[in-house]
Amino acid sequence: MRTGENGNVVEIVDLADVRRVSGEDATKIRARIPTAPTAGKALLPLTSVDTDQWRKLAARAVEPNGYYLADWELAVNATAPGRTGAAALGAFGDDPSAPMIGLLPVIPIWRAYKIPLPALVSAHPYGTLCTPLLDRDMADEAAGRLMQAAREAGAHALILREVSLHGAAIKAFAEVLRRDGLRLRVLQSHLRARLDATRDADQLLRDALSAKKLKELRRQRHRLAEHGAVRFEVARSPHEVAIAIETFLALEASGWKGERGTALLKVEGDAAFIRRATAALAERCQCEIVTLRAGDTPVAAGIVLRHQNRAFFFKLGIDERFAKYSPGVQLTLDLTRHLCADPAIASADSTATPDHPMINPVWRGRLAIGDVLIPLRRNDPVVPLLQAALVSREFARDMARRAVHFIRGR
């Protein structure tokens, strides 16, 4: 290896060996994703995973992830464009009759990034969190067995996208790597808003927002009430959720997301996925849809998933005719009070973008999120090549985003 101009260590590898190994294994890994159940194989079609075992594992998971709940991910995998046809790495104990102890939905890196190297990438579940499900009583073993399953599938590395960098699941992978003389590599990271729902909501909001801002929000709420009594509704039952999801879809499609064609209702497969997922999760008390109304008029609505003691704020839709009353913020204030009053919820993940202008000032807690590369073999020449390709890709995307923001801001 040598040191580059910026002081970073640059690894020198035999490119001929890399091309031979990576080309052969990348082809194998794409071919190994089955189209039908293959019991005992390292890589399974996601639809062949036993849903009862999946749900039981989710209940025992060392770290919650509402977006890898069976009813959510299977709905995404069924119809969401660009997200169907995922495979799964499963971790099982030595006893064939023992329950599943780990699960990670995956796709080949070629499909995720168009990089022709032998690696598997966590399947994107529409929500911005891909933390694997690991049994809390044997998290290290589950992480190790998922890594072994990836090796058996021909992968040289696992790339976990958008995971909690300080969570229990990543700590389990880091411990397994440490024992093997390896280390995980953080490809990119950022902070996003998080709510500490164990606090008193009113005190939390006073600490987060200035007295002047709170006064302005109260004034806006009073003005909104001129259109009808303002009320906050929570849909929980399957019947209530089935009605509320249509309200949400209509609100989201009525604004700029609808104009750009990115609203869920504008894409048939996306609309089918969200209807199926919310209905199925409501059956298990794992989904709520919150709505803010002025009289009979819905002005804002949001989808909230629940897994163990954590809530996940998936999406928000507003009626932009009422924008001057800050309906999205008003809904978030009510949601904050709702979650803080619920003894079953300890925290909420905004699953929002970094520096989100609406929720960051309200939910002042922060969650470190990032993409990590998990090498599966020692001294593997493919790994530095993978890392370089992924870092370069992220740099190019960041430059493109900056250019778009610059052009839009002119």
Give the integer Cα–Cα distance in Å for 76 and 79. 6
pLDDT tens, residue order, the chain (410 aa): 333 333 333 333 343 444 444 455 655 555 555 433 333 467 999 999 999 999 999 999 999 999 999 999 999 999 999 999 999 999 998 887 889 999 999 999 999 999 999 999 999 999 999 999 999 999 999 999 999 999 999 999 999 999 999 999 999 999 999 999 999 999 999 999 999 999 999 999 999 999 999 999 999 999 999 999 999 999 999 999 999 999 999 999 999 889 999 999 999 999 999 999 999 999 999 999 999 999 999 999 999 999 999 999 999 999 999 999 999 999 999 999 999 999 999 999 999 999 999 999 999 999 999 999 999 999 999 999 999 999 888 778 777 777 766 676 66
Give the integer Cα–Cα distance in Å for 108 and 305. 28
What pLDDT, on a 0 to 100 scale, did the predictor assign at position 180? Answer: 96
What pLDDT, on a 0 to 100 scale, did the predictor assign at position 364? Answer: 98
Amino acid identity, position 353:
T
The beta-carbon contacts of 324-327 under 8 Å, at least 24 apart in sequence, are 324/220, 324/223, 325/220, 325/221, 325/223, 325/224, 325/299, 326/217, 326/220, 327/224, 327/292, 327/299, 327/300
Give the integer Cα–Cα distance in Å for 58 and 104. 12
What pLDDT, on a 0 to 100 scale, did the predictor assign at position 3? Answer: 32
Distances, alpha carbon 247 to alpha carbons 71, 240, 298, 303, 304, in Å:
21, 11, 7, 11, 14
What pLDDT, on a 0 to 100 scale, did the predictor assign at position 45? Answer: 95
Give the integer Cα–Cα distance in Å for 354 and 397. 15
DSSP letter for each residue of 102-120: EEEEEEEHHHHH---SSEE
Question: 119-122 and 157-164 as β-strands: parallel, antiparallel, unpaired?
Answer: parallel
What pLDDT, on a 0 to 100 scale, did the predictor assign at position 199? Answer: 98
What pLDDT, on a 0 to 100 scale, did the predictor assign at position 393? Answer: 87
Neighbours of 15 (CB within 10 A): 11
Distances, alpha carbon 357 to alpha carbons 61, 352, 353, in Å:
32, 10, 9
Q: Which H helix or E strand runs over 303?
A: strand 297-307
Cβ atoms of 183 and 175 within 8 Å: the answer is no
Amino acid identity, position 93:
G
Among 341, 338, 370, 343, which Cα is nearest to 354's?
Answer: 370
Cβ atoms of 387 and 204 within 8 Å: the answer is no
What pLDDT, on a 0 to 100 scale, did the predictor assign at position 394? Answer: 79
SS3 236: coil
